[in-house]
Structure 1
Amino acid sequence: MESNESIGNNNFFDGTFLSHFERQQPSPPSVIVIGGGISGIAAARALRNASFKVVLLESRDRLGGRIHTDYTFGCPVDMGASWLHGVCNENSLAPLIRCLGLPLYRTSGDNSVLYDHDLESYVLFDMAGYQVPQTLVIEVGEIFKRILQETEKVRDENSRDMSVLDAITIVLGRNPDLRQQGLAHEVLQWYICRMEAWFAVDADMISLKNWDQEQVLSGGHGLMVQGYHPVIQALAKDIDIRLNHRVTKISDWVNGVMLTVEDGRSFVADAVIVTVPHGVLKANLIEFKPKLPGWKVDAISDLGVGNENKIALRFDTVFWPNVEFLGIVAPTSYACGYFLNLHKATGQPVLVYMAAGRFAYDIEKLSDKEAANFVMLQLKKMFPDATEPIKYLVSRWGTDRDSLGSYSFDLVGKPADLYEKLQAPVGNIFFGGEAVSMDHSGSVHGAYTAGLQAAEDCQRHLLEGLGNMELLKLVSLRDETVETMVPLQISRI
């Protein structure tokens, strides 16, 4: 086995050369964290604060994972996660955001599992470029709520799960008064499109049983005005991080684990915390030796991964109205569109087009220029005098080998104990990431909390194994140094 690097003067080693004498020396336990997203960084931060020996291996050439704040526009633009879902003290990220003085722009005061915007500041257009009357949008919105309420009856009548789209079809079949025609039908499709954007998957794949069971924190939804990068940067301070280290194999080794990276090097530690995106696990891009038990493999398979992409456009001047978002209604939810107006929140002449589900994958089949041109066609229907963007950015989370999707969602018919199995360790292998969050999967704070929980479970396991529970009592993995009395900086322009 090739061995050409060692990690510091501790018990992380390349190769297998570690003597019995060295293993017997009193030393804090060692942990390798795989994945430099917020979950992995949170886990590494917590263990380092607890005086464990920690190294973080990240496959990309940057930190953040599916958090990616781009600065090439001359201002921060989040091409991945961008909202804090739950602008309240109960949010696990709130203390850190307060401490860093990061402002939030609240786009919704509604603790909804459907929208991250209130219908207060918007303009919708049809495919011909005509503005949709706001009275019609509000009216259809109320009808959509009634449709969803009726799907609860469908859920109660059926012991087996089905998709939300199937349930809506049943409801409309039973209730002719709820069916919409013409422009009203197109507005209804836009509402379904927004629902699909929340779950990052088409309505025919959203679980009727689980779609409204998510525990959304209070306080509404807040856009990170300066992006999420400052949070990543603060958490990563002084952690031993190795970029461009793609882990391909995790093996049992003596009483610990051995990790093999793409170039053949190996690293050894007492335990490992796996926080790679769920899409990477589903694609079996990491080999486990011995193989993961069947219950774990099934749990990984039973959770879905959705896809949402962004096309960000920077302009010289603002030619659109001063509203939070612009929308396009259409005969199908697939053809509907949605622009976030960053100028409203940040003062920068930037629009961000969002695409979810199958449409997000279809966007990835285009070149960046083709994707930007497609978005501009939509924009020019609304604003014929729209100027060309001076720069554009396109995300590709679905085909990015380091993510293979944006965030997890509940497949139709998933087992009731799925998240317990996803979170459960296998020997010295622990699991973090947004996908294992029992209450807040798909969110940044859910990923953060899952990382802390994995670190806590790992710490307890290792110290129990060493018979050193007294040390456990003295060490807290939760960062109590963050000032909690500083208020969150929230605006609504």
Structure 2
Amino acid sequence: MESPDKSKRQLKRASCSSNAERRQACSPSVIVIGGGFAGIAAARALYDASFRVVLLESRDRIGGRVCTDYSFGFPIDMGASWLHGVCKENPLAPIIGRLGLPLYRTSGDNSVLYDHDLESYALFDTNGNQVPQDLVTKVGQAFENILVETNKVRQEHSEDMSILRAFDIVFERRPDLRLEGLSYKVLQWYLCRMEGWFAADADSISLRSWDQEELLPGGHGLMVRGYRPVINTLAKGLDIRLNHRVTQIARSYNGVKVTVEDGRTFVADAAVIAVPLGVLKAKGIKFEPKLPDWKEDAIADLGVGIENKIALHFDKVFWPNVEFLGVVASTSYECSYFLNLHKATGHPVLVYMPAGQLAQDTEKMSDEAAASFAFMQLKNIIPDASEPIQYLVSHWGTDTNSLGSYTYDLVGKPHDLYERLRIPVDNLFFAGEATSVNYPGSVHGAYSTGLMAAEDCRMRVLERYGEFDLLNPTMGEDVSVPLLISRI
């Protein structure tokens, strides 16, 4: 016969487990759509706040436009690869610091061209002649002066225009700023780098808004070991369903019903939509009822740029020990640049980075043809370059899971579209780099909007639940760890 004490213990255990099940059953539920940094951040925050969370991701991996590839035998980020703003104010800094992930700083705070400040570069013409360093510096100063003049043009015109049109007006007014010959080609290279920042051509970049983005201090750091360890850490323990492409989102007062490609449905109190803007533009997801006009206009009027990477792996280093190799030419389309990963990581890899129309054109090629095209650009400047032993090619513009690289301001469209895209619609909450007012196009921008959407969602759902113990989520203690930054 069982002792009374043992029976009491079993009864207490049964009571505890039924309470836990009841609490789980009545916990608020959320479906997060999209497993990039924004979606994972939202799912993590809501899970840590005791919500039941299911994350649906269309790819066979998490990360979205963060994609660390290991097929060379070491990590190569084929999507986002920089931490823009190497400082403790960056919301990703605590995680990166705790993981002990090293960063390689490619610029300081004063960078006109953002992800590097030309402290370490080598530019060549298409005949393989290196451009004198003092000429590049001189043209760089001229480029800055031209940008100052475009600001005057902006102040004088009520209507927006493209950066390219503003340059034309500056040259009409200030013939002394016109450049010719090799200097003109170097200027085109500067313009090409600017286009790379926006992943768009200068004739579609807004003069009114091009410099409205906030830049965190500390310069820009390349993630030496890639972004994969960060996203994996954030995703730990979450219920993530890969290969679940969402086709429909139906909302009502009582909750949301999400349908995936094979017809299965998921129901919850609310949903966080963290899919790329390009996917929303393509209308691959049907909303029932349809989204309000102001939301659809925001989706339609924000620009999505394309920048790709063609990573070339060599058996040995045969190029100068600089961060960037550049090709100068008579148009920005013909200019190009290679990021030298050997300087940051020690691996003999150059990454060709076409943007805008050039990126679209290379996406039409096979991977082999695209790698050959990139290698030919390299042969122009280093004739005795040896053939690559491996290559990787990204396709962000044609990939159905992204349909673009990141967001930028189109000519004539208001800068508040990012905020409009972020604003919730009933129990649908929006996240992603395209919803970041201050940091669009960045990983920390995406991450921040995921946290914001999670908090908005939490408060909205709790208004209905009136739950007491969910108002103070138990978050891990935020321990500040210094970032590991190198600069060779």
Q: TM-score, normalised by structure 1?
A: 0.93
What letter matches 2:46 in structure 1?
L
Task: Summarize deviations over 1:109-153 as a string: whole Å, max 9, x none.
Answer: 125463211211111000111111111100111001000000011
Alpha-carbon distance between aligned partners in 2 of 1:474 and 1:253, rounded to the nearest angstrom: 27
Within 5 A, what are the aligned runs for 1:76-225? 76-112=75-111, 114-225=113-224
Establish whether residue 421 from structure 1 lines up as the match of residue 417 from structure 2.
no
**1:474 equivalent among 472, 475, 481:** 472
The answer on whether the counterparts of 1:338 and 1:353 sit within 8 Å (CA) in structure 2 is yes
Alpha-carbon distance between aligned partners in 2 of 1:182 and 1:112, rounded to the nearest angstrom: 25
What letter matches 2:231 in structure 1?
I
Specify every segment of 5 or more residues in structure 2 that has no aligned partner in the other structure, as ranges. Answer: 1-20
CA deviation after TM superposition for structure 1 residue 381, in Å: 1.6
CA deviation after TM superposition for structure 1 residue 254, in Å: 5.9
CA deviation after TM superposition for structure 1 residue 471, in Å: 3.4
Map of 1:453 onto structure 2: 452
CA deviation after TM superposition for structure 1 residue 189, in Å: 0.2
Within 5 A, what are the aligned runs for 1:330-341? 330-341=329-340
The answer on whether the counterparts of 2:209 and 2:415 sit within 8 Å (CA) in structure 1 is no
The answer on whether the counterparts of 1:113 and 1:198 sit within 8 Å (CA) in structure 2 is no
The secondary structure found in structure 1 opposite 2:26 is coil
Alpha-carbon distance between aligned partners in 2 of 1:345 and 1:42, rounded to the nearest angstrom: 28
Alpha-carbon distance between aligned partners in 2 of 1:482 and 1:311, rounded to the nearest angstrom: 37
Task: Summarize deviations over 1:16-35 as a string: whole Å, max 9, x none.
Answer: xxxxxx99996110000000
Alpha-carbon distance between aligned partners in 2 of 1:396 and 1:300, rounded to the nearest angstrom: 22
Alpha-carbon distance between aligned partners in 2 of 1:492 and 1:201, rounded to the nearest angstrom: 29
CA deviation after TM superposition for structure 1 residue 419, in Å: 2.3
The answer on whether the counterparts of 2:273 and 2:431 sit within 8 Å (CA) in structure 1 is yes
Alpha-carbon distance between aligned partners in 2 of 1:199 and 1:252, rounded to the nearest angstrom: 34
The answer on whether the counterparts of 1:111 and 1:217 sit within 8 Å (CA) in structure 2 is no
Map of 2:57 onto structure 1: 58
Map of 2:7 onto structure 1: none
Residues 162/23 of structure 1: CA separation in 2 closer, same or farther (3 Å cut) = farther
Residues 230/25 of structure 1: CA separation in 2 closer, same or farther (3 Å cut) = closer
Alpha-carbon distance between aligned partners in 2 of 1:441 and 1:59, rounded to the nearest angstrom: 23
Root mean square deviation, CA, Å: 1.5
The secondary structure found in structure 2 opposite 1:319 is coil
The answer on whether the counterparts of 2:110 and 2:117 sit within 8 Å (CA) in structure 1 is no
The answer on whether the counterparts of 1:113 and 1:214 sit within 8 Å (CA) in structure 2 is no
Moved more, 453-462 or 416-425: 416-425
Map of 2:352 onto structure 1: 353
Within 5 A, what are the aligned runs for 1:376-395? 376-395=375-394
What letter matches 1:161 in structure 2?
D
Task: Summarize deviations over 1:39-86 as a string: whole Å, max 9, x none.
Answer: 100000001111100010000001100000000001100000000000
Map of 2:3 onto structure 1: none
Q: Percent identity?
A: 68
Task: Summarize deviations over 1:364-384 as a string: whole Å, max 9, x none.
Answer: 011111111111111112212
CA deviation after TM superposition for structure 1 residue 482, in Å: 3.6
What letter matches 2:469 in structure 1?
L
CA deviation after TM superposition for structure 1 residue 98, in Å: 0.2
Residues 25/222 of structure 1: CA separation in 2 closer, same or farther (3 Å cut) = closer
The answer on whether the counterparts of 1:247 and 1:261 sit within 8 Å (CA) in structure 2 is yes
Establish whether residue 430 from structure 1 lines up as the match of residue 429 from structure 2.
yes
Residues 189/271 of structure 1: CA separation in 2 closer, same or farther (3 Å cut) = same
The answer on whether the counterparts of 2:199 and 2:307 sit within 8 Å (CA) in structure 1 is yes
The secondary structure found in structure 2 opposite 1:203 is coil
Task: Summarize deviations over 1:300-322 as a string: whole Å, max 9, x none.
Answer: 11111000000001011111111
Alpha-carbon distance between aligned partners in 2 of 1:160 and 1:147, rounded to the nearest angstrom: 20
Task: Summarize deviations over 1:138-195 as a string: whole Å, max 9, x none.
Answer: 0111001000000011000011111111101100111111111111100000000000
Residues 361/25 of structure 1: CA separation in 2 closer, same or farther (3 Å cut) = closer
What letter matches 2:484 in structure 1?
Q
Map of 2:483 onto structure 1: 488
Map of 1:67 onto structure 2: 66
Map of 2:276 onto structure 1: 277
The secondary structure found in structure 1 opposite 2:146 is helix
What letter matches 1:108 in structure 2?
S
The structure having more radius of gyration, on CA atoms, is 2
Specify every segment of 5 or more residues in structure 1 that has no aligned partner in the other structure, as ranges. Answer: 1-21
The secondary structure found in structure 2 opposite 1:386 is coil
Residues 25/183 of structure 1: CA separation in 2 closer, same or farther (3 Å cut) = closer
Alpha-carbon distance between aligned partners in 2 of 1:169 and 1:133, rounded to the nearest angstrom: 27
Task: Summarize deviations over 1:188-233 as a string: whole Å, max 9, x none.
Answer: 0000000000011001111111111111000000000000000011
Map of 2:256 onto structure 1: 257
Within 5 A, what are the aligned runs for 1:312-327? 312-327=311-326
Task: Summarize deviations over 1:227-284 as a string: whole Å, max 9, x none.
Answer: 0000011000000000000000001256000011011111111100000000000111
Alpha-carbon distance between aligned partners in 1 of 2:172 and 2:419, rounded to the nearest angstrom: 37
The secondary structure found in structure 1 opposite 2:58 is coil
The answer on whether the counterparts of 2:49 and 2:472 sit within 8 Å (CA) in structure 1 is no
The answer on whether the counterparts of 2:246 and 2:260 sit within 8 Å (CA) in structure 1 is yes
The answer on whether the counterparts of 2:111 and 2:117 sit within 8 Å (CA) in structure 1 is no
What letter matches 1:287 in structure 2?
K
What letter matches 1:474 in structure 2?
N
Alpha-carbon distance between aligned partners in 2 of 1:236 and 1:287, rounded to the nearest angstrom: 27
Moved more, 111-120 or 243-252: 111-120
Q: Which runs of 4+ in 1 moved over 6 A?
A: 22-26
The answer on whether the counterparts of 1:322 and 1:344 sit within 8 Å (CA) in structure 2 is yes
Alpha-carbon distance between aligned partners in 2 of 1:453 and 1:113, rounded to the nearest angstrom: 30
Map of 1:5 onto structure 2: none
What letter matches 1:176 in structure 2?
P
